[in-house]
A and B are shown apart, each in its own frame.
Chain A
Amino acid sequence: MAAEVAAQPVNGTATGSRARWKHMDTLLSRPGAYTDEDDFAPGSVPIGNIEQSRILVIGAGGLGCEILKNLALSGFKHIDVIDMDTIDFLFREKDVGKAKASVAAEFVMKRCPGCVITPYAGKIQDKDEDYYMQFNLVICGLDSIEARRWINATLVGMVDMENPDSLKPLIDGGTEGFKGQSRVIFPTMTSCIECQLDMHAPRAAVPLCTLATIPRQPQHCIEWAHIIKWEEERKDLVLDTDDPEHITWLYQKALGRAKEFKIEGVTYSMTQGVVKNIIPAIASTNAIVAASCCNEAFKIVTSAASFLGTPGENNYMLYTGDASIYTYTFEHQKKDDCPVCGNLPKDLFVNPESTLGELVEGLAERPEAQLKKPNLRTEEKTLYYSSPASLEESTRPNLKRKISEMLADGEEFAVSDPAFEINFRFIARYA
């Protein structure tokens, strides 16, 4: 391959021929209209930074694959990617069953020689702080809120004020249909994922009694088949939402129930959507959000232009494309009572006449909490533990007791959840 003349002179920090990077190097070798001399020295420094940075990408699905491609074509050379899933999609039949992370890494590396992408097929929770410490920046492209919260708490926890290298910018992207968002977090310095949790309120669950006795919607019939009927009739079989026989069984049960109540609209596709919680997704939205995340990464690493996440500046871009094109770019404020990056407990309004059980149930749905297996205690006593089983059993009677018996107005209590390594501090406020 002929590669003699680099477009722009670069010094020792950049390696090898730069001919293929002509476009990028031209831009990085000239001062920008929005840069100042102190922050940006055109030429070898930003180019060297790109070459030497190590980036971690979490997720190798629709968003993750785009992110890997974008990073490789932004000149990054050292990328790691984590994804626990195998390919179930029918895109390339020969890849079905392989780890998403490895297939994505191989595909991008083949197209972009010189870029090394190291895949890890597993969970982010398998890795410790030493692992995360190797990277300069982390980009998340996943559909799991839980994983986002975990990596966020981990990166915030890693910050050591004595060691500037311990601060790892976190860039997060997410999409649903024609909508999406990208956001940049400088752990401990700017609003974190946990501060922003209420921006993504969980869908309210349908009460069990509606499913059991008064279904009204086709979805209620499907949930009934899924949550109640399967347990009753196929208890010994683990439900596999990818098994068409299982979905068909649920579909037919739901259809039967719908007929009984004269409810219209149960379809196979809806059954699948409800049971698997399928979020509509399209390639173009993934492209927009992934590229926005990588553009921010590129700007952070090179200082070639201002980036989202500078403390006191915008850190969040919301995108909607279903009615014209609209972006809202703003600064989400850091919260002092954030359980992860703040130092104050959060107020939680409770009805003193309601039961502790209702509070525990509510924690799963409250936008600012979203804790599904909570363990609750005050400084003096244990209120309720979801696990282990022995503790659950001994604290279960408390669920029936009134809040006013268990928590004083203004009393602080802590909630932990095995999914996260942190304690959430709340103050009960009678409402």
Chain B
Amino acid sequence: MSNSTQWVSALKGIIGETNVIQDPDQLKAYAVDGLAPKAVVNPGSVEEISKLLTYAHSEKRTVVPRGNGTKMATGGIPGKIDVVLSMLRIHRITEHDIPNLSLSVEAGITLAEVQKMLAGTGKGSFLPLDPPYSDRATIGGIIAANSSGPRRYLYGSARDLLLGLKAVYPNGDIVAFGGKAVKNVSGYDMTKLMIGSWGSLGVITEITTKLLPLPEASATLLTSFEDLAKAGSMTRKILHSVLLPSAMELMDGKAASQLGESARYLVAFSLEGVREAVDRQVAEIGDIAKKEGAVDTKVLWGEEDRIFWRRVRDFAIASEASVILRSNFVISKQAEILGNYEKIAQAAGIGCAWIGHVGNGILTSYILENGAAKMGPVVDLIGKFTAEAAKHGGNLIVESCPRDLKEKVRVWGQPRSDDVVMRRLKERVDPVGVLNPGRFVGGI
């Protein structure tokens, strides 16, 4: 105990007394899989983070970086958590180069705040990322989790957008990778390595990203189908056409109904760009859908268009799903896999809703509240879903689930042959195991 008091007072020396939380009641809110940290720190500068990690490294303490905590349920069960490192005070916009269409921001700012600033500055621009938890997710959390949304179909994901980033390595080294040049092969592309590393290789403190001009026009086209095979056939037609929707999402009836739409299957398109192209695509995709057997089509403009996509992004919150699974696979198999998932869930009597990025081969399964009680069947269902995705070149990640379920499943999916390299990488970068130990792929 005295040992613990000693190192917590060392933290206070580094971060300042008022920025260290030690009250057990408050600490509970920062628990990961039920395990509360011994302290939460709120540093106000990158130098403080560096000192903190230098100290943790030398004292063999574990540190869990955190933004607004929207994704803390992802990952393996941690062995021990000494310190939760809150990034919320590291939240400045460090450079907005309007004519160059680039932006540097610190990790603790929310994406929503960034988008608001961008839309209102000059001619208006945006950071083309639309991950879940649209109000609360911080830039650092989004990048560390490689979080993405429907519009990645046209705009890509963080790896296609980021130009550089700054981080603090597990030994306390402050490092900078990439830069603000849009093309850069100087040294290893460490930026990409840090994206999606879930805080296990370094603490991301700042990113530099490309921006895009706000589109001139936008609209949503909703097409509903009775027959999944027909919906699948339509999406494949669009995939191989010259048309360029910015999002193409396929969802089942439960998901559609949660979004206020009634359809057995719903395919939603986001169309953005020059006005002529938006108008034409609304008309042409609508025609293709009808030819392919759509029973209904509907167009949303303006505020309705924006609200719809916000609700798609934040489906996890509204659905109150107890378990969220994310499958990836080759892009042509979306409808087929959704069909098989429906059969598997139905046979197990587990209520699910599905939304998928059809153009990217990603399908998210939301196991609704009543399903969680059935531990055995859910474990079995996850196994079957994983096998189905693996059959088509993919895998399955358990994005969120209760701790007792975590103990029985592989949250990062089936092992892959390159796991060996990932383990070596973690051992070289973080030999002491300071950052997020035990929570990433293969327990690294």
The reply to whether chain A is a binding partner of chain B is no
What residues of chain A have their CB less than 8 Å away from a CB belonging to chain B?
none
What residues of chain B have their CB less than 8 Å away from a CB belonging to chain A?
none
